[in-house]
Structure 1
Amino acid sequence: MRRYSKENTIADASHTGPRHVAIIMDGNGRWATQRGRPRLFGHHAGARRVREVVETCPDIGVEYLTIFAFSTENWKRTQVEVAGLMSLFRRYISKEARSLNQFGARVRFIGDRVRLDAKLIALMDELETLTAGNTSVNLTIALNYGGRDEVARATQRLARDVADGKLHPDTVDEETLPKYLDTYVLPDPDLVIRTSGEARISNFLLWQSAYSEYEFIDTLWPDFSREEFTRLCASYGMRDRRFGGVKK
């Protein structure tokens, strides 16, 4: 893992870029505080940034984009902030559904929906159905998502199949569990980006990111730009990825 500074330059951007990029969108609250505004002001600014990143993906060869919108731990925030975020999610889905569909984005949601309200779940279902045939970019939104929670839920489903005789314990290996994860239809992320200067993964895609490359950048999410996203993806293409092997 390494930090990326805006001063880094890319000597040759022709290398193969990441197919799947996952982003921990951090820094909305600090961005708002720096401007003397409430934290929700920053969350609204961050939501507007998502569209620019999504629209950049096809231009730079990114087929899959996964964004961390709300974690299972975020329920610990104040009731006002949580309620504001849930309202923002409903508003974002309603407002952006048409443009996402027209752009050709296929939208999926991952995470545990049990704690989400019925109206939000209905909007999520509608957006997934509306965009199911789109192919320009696969946008996955992690909402009430936690990596440990995902693995626990996947293990429960796997255990039920074993108990029902659909799966033999001796056949369970590292290729089995991914079929029970929320992301079973997605490739593992090649590159994980975290904004705001924090250098931790915060329970995001724990199983899937075992061999992902990481970029921890100082930029707060509302300031994250198309140019910086493009630069980070180009930087990925310069890396020597051996997956535990030795370069010949």
Structure 2
Amino acid sequence: MSKNHGVVMPDANKENTLNQLVGAAFGAAGQRCMALSTAVLVGEAKKWLPELVERAKNLRVNAGDQPGADLGPLITPQAKERVCNLIDSGTKEGASILLDGRKIKVKGYENGNFVGPTIISNVKPNMTCYKEEIFGPVLVVLETETLDEAIQIVNNNPYGNGTAIFTTNGATARKYAHLVDVGQVGVNVPIPVPLPMFSFTGSRSSFRGDTNFYGKQGIQFYTQLKTITSQWKEEDATLSSPAVVMPTMGR
């Protein structure tokens, strides 16, 4: 399970960041373990929220095999019900629904399991919609004044699958990458899934087992190790006495 955070600094490239947030939050209707389901807006970045909502509104919801569809349906009626219940919990616990996709109807698929892009603001870490993985097209938004506060929020969350920071400041990116307790970190990369030659390094409650999959650790998992200790010396043919010690280069 996961609850992936995207920390948005006020010095980030606004155009790129808003597009990346929308794509990472709502792509695949949010049904992927690396979806960027939580945005943490730092300082003046909170002023970008109305524009974020407008971009999400422009996404087209339709059957996945229809041309131009940006979001398809959820996988089952039960999945839709669960997502809608978690959105409901946000309103009951004091959050604000800036964009509500619960009532969306798709022509020709009126009985489909569709939920449109949904953005919930004024979210606090104790709310159910924050604590649970929603696994749907829902972006929850928290606000902080400083980067340190944002790092604390991320580290207090039990999951550590992935996170991203959006900034144009290298020092800020380095600080975040080193202090955040998450196994996969993106810098201006919203879904930081590594290439297959590297291991998928989700951590904490997002990790099960004793090794990560693919990359070097994946090879290790499928490999039975063998160690061969050999000794070849010129005088082997004339060795006249037994050695009772561990083999060494000297004998």
TM-score, length of structure 2 as denominator length: 0.38
Greater CA radius of gyration, 1 or 2? Answer: 2
